[in-house]
Structures are given as structure tokens and as C-alpha cells.
Amino acid sequence: MNIKVAEKVTARRVQMDGAADVSMRMLIGPDDGAPNFNMRMFELAPGGHTPLHRHAWEHEVYILAGSGTLRTEDGDRPIAAGNCVFVPCEDLHQFANTGGATLRFLCLVPSDSA
């Protein structure tokens, strides 16, 4: 069993094409011996966004702080602290910070997705 302080986990800048002002902390993952899931914390600066993308795995997301927009093929949806989001496999999606403070969220994905 392992306990960490999330803010002490190293934040790494997301380098994917289409990402802007996004960092990610791998809170629980392969280095922790987690065989099935990765728990990641993303932080988007005001105006920042993840790439508009799709992939073969689902996401479970919990918004910790801030506000923004979830962009999908069905249109934009507002998101804010306390919201839970399920992104199914192959759904086009992008998280964007449209607020004035950092947008912070947890994202859980299968461990074989990265």
C-alpha cells in the first residue's frame, strides 16, 4: 500500500500536438505497481486545453477545481468543480479551461492506455 501527497508528485508538461498549458501528475500508475488503472491529475492554466482527440479507451473524470468546457462532437458542455464526467471509448473530446483559475481534474484510464 502506498500513500502520496498529490501536489508532491512531479508535474510534467503535456507534449501532445494540440495541447496548450497543460500539466499531468501520474498519481497512481505502473511505478506504484497498479496493474489495472492509472490515476492522473491534470492542471490546465487559464486558456489552456488538452488536444481534441479520441482513442480506444474510456475516461472517468472528476473535476476538482476551476471551470471550463468539455468539447465533443455533440457540442460544448460546461464543467466545474464537483462534476463527474464519463468519456466513452472513441468519443471525440477536449477539456478546455475557460475560467480565470486553474482547472484541475482527476482522470482514470486503463493502465494499458498509455
Contact present, 91 and 73 (Cβ < 8 Å): yes
pTM as predicted = 0.94
Nearest-angstrom CA–CA distance, 102 and 29: 24
**pLDDT of 29:** 95
Residue 9 has pLDDT above 80, yes or no: yes
Please tell me the predicted confidence (pLDDT) of residue 49.
98
Percent of the chain with pLDDT over 70: 99
**pLDDT digit string, tens, across residues 44-99:** 999 999 999 999 999 999 999 999 999 999 999 999 999 999 999 999 999 999 99
Q: Does residue 33 surpass a pLDDT of 60? A: yes
Domain boundaries, the chain: 8-80+93-106
8-80+93-106 topology per CATH: Jelly Rolls (2.60.120)
